[in-house]
Amino acid sequence: MIRRGIHHLLPLLPILFLSVQSVHAQAPADAPTTRAGRLVFVIPIQGEFEKALHLIVVRALREAKRQEADAVILDMDTPGGRVDSAIRIRDALINTEIPTYTYVNPMAVSAGAFIALATDHIIMGRNSSIGGALPLTIGAEGVGAAEKKFQSVFNAEIRKTARTKGHPEDIAEGFSNPDLVIPGLKKEGDILTLTFDEATSLGLAEYQAETLDELLAREGLSGARVVRFQLTTTDRIARFLSSSAVLGVLMMVGLGALVLELKTPGVGLPGAIALLAFGLAFGGSYLANLSGYMEVIFFFVGVVLLVVEIYVLPGFGIAGILGILCVVGSLLFALFSFAPDGFSLTAPRLDMLGSAVLTVTAALVGLIPFFIVLGKILPATPLYRNLMLGPEGRESPAPAETAGAAAAPRAEAAVAAGQTGRALTDLRPAGIALLGEARVDVLTQGEYLEKGTPVVVVRVEGARVFVARGE
């Protein structure tokens, strides 16, 4: 039979959906909600970009789609940045149906060149350059070229990106592959970087534009309303919540509180803490374009399966296993974005997946000290006892009985393993039992026992008396 505690937990679970839905409904405060004439979104990519840049691009593309923008232009001047962020930006650009442009103004180097190849049109600015996309890693010996295996996979990624958008594949691969030879242009061992004249003459760039206004004029967008996107408060919050360290802590707190709620039905407070932690984790992940509703649905299904396993079905079977897989899987994929063409285990994505696995593993390992503290310290504290029992769990004893209950800990010295009695309150897992003629504060080993259930003392640890169901 399902215990009363489930009624405290299940109504809270939809908060996860509400938190994500409220995030989904947000739009930038400065973004117009109605369209008048032609509309162009400009996304500045300036300086070395890091993890948060894809937040701006994804938000801009969503808003551009909502307002039926005529074009999205990346105003680019960057020496490159993080590969994982570049891959997410590439994925978002390939998925959009809005015409996209990269205005190289004046530099699109390294990961910047990779992103430029994901747009429909590349326009070179004055004295601009593009290329130099050899993937680098930072190790104990400093910055150096990535290992050959990673380079090979990245070369395939850059070719695929160029092919998707109709850019010259050999030129694109020359940006990242030192082993590629392009007669008359690139010899073995070199990394290709093109000037504005070379990029135009080789067919990578369509033309040169002195200014962004000139680009707009040549594309028939003169007079269009221009919306220029910047990092907003929402983006900063998403960057904070989606960082590996913060997500790891939120997951650890959420999992610990969820287990506590499932082990102590009727409490409610741990369930609320779990929902708050997971709401922040999934909300931040959604804002960072790492997850959507599917992860939340899997998490919800996993929790329901665990509730069914614990309170409805005896033992530990298929429902419990599936519940754990759904919960852990939803947390894992809240940290990992899929490729536009589905699940792809290329080297860059394996690196992203490995980081996600590390974060979830750290959260699970972090639960060990949590439960050590919970099992060894908290049960002996008055705060924990009040939390476990609460006003519902205690009877309303007469004054004399109250005094007897207060004196119960003094009687614990006479309690020994094997002594029998009965539960005077629900044990969830803490409560009061009558052992002989003494009322004693007791703990089960996680089992829920109803009032009146026969109990037997299994062990005594200092002031703590552990009991189990008796005969």
Q: pLDDT tens digits, residue range 433-455?
A: 998 888 888 888 778 888 899 99
Confirm if 138 and 145 have CB atoms less than 8 A apart: no
Which CATH architecture group holds 31-231? Alpha-Beta Complex (3.90)
Q: What are the boundaries of each domain within the chain?
A: 5-18+234-376, 31-231, 390-469
CA–CA separation, 10 and 303 (whole Å): 9
Query: Would you say the C-alpha torsion 150, 154, 157, 163 has a positive or negative sign?
Result: negative
CA–CA separation, 413 and 408 (whole Å): 10
- pLDDT score for 83: 79
- pLDDT score for 103: 98
Cα angle: 38, vertex 41, 43; to 5 degrees: 165
Residues 6+ apart with CB under 8 A from 49: 78, 80, 81, 82, 85, 86, 111, 112
Q: What is the DSSP letter of 338?
A: P
Which residue ranges in the chain fall short of pLDDT 70?
1-36, 49-52, 137-146, 231, 239, 242-244, 263-267, 287-292, 310-316, 335-356, 370-371, 373-413
On the question of a cis peptide bond just before residue 369, with omega within 30 degrees of 0, the verdict is no
pTM exceeds 0.85: no
Q: Looking at this protein, which amino acid is placed at residue 239? A: R
CA–CA separation, 342 and 286 (whole Å): 18
Nearest in space to 84 (alpha carbons), one of 38, 50, 130:
50
Question: H or E element: which one contains 109?
Answer: strand 100-109
Q: Report the half-sphere exposure of 323 (CA within 13 A, side-chain side).
A: 17
- pLDDT score for 399: 41
- pLDDT score for 241: 77
Does 31-231 match 390-469 in CATH topology? Answer: no
- pLDDT score for 21: 45
CA–CA separation, 24 and 242 (whole Å): 16
176: burial class by Cβ within 10 Å (0-12, 13-18, 19+)? buried
Intra-chain end-to-end CA distance of the chain, in Å: 20
- pLDDT score for 341: 43
Going by CATH, does the domain composed of 390-469 fall within 3.30.465.10?
no
- pLDDT score for 427: 84
Question: H or E element: which one contains 72?
Answer: strand 71-78
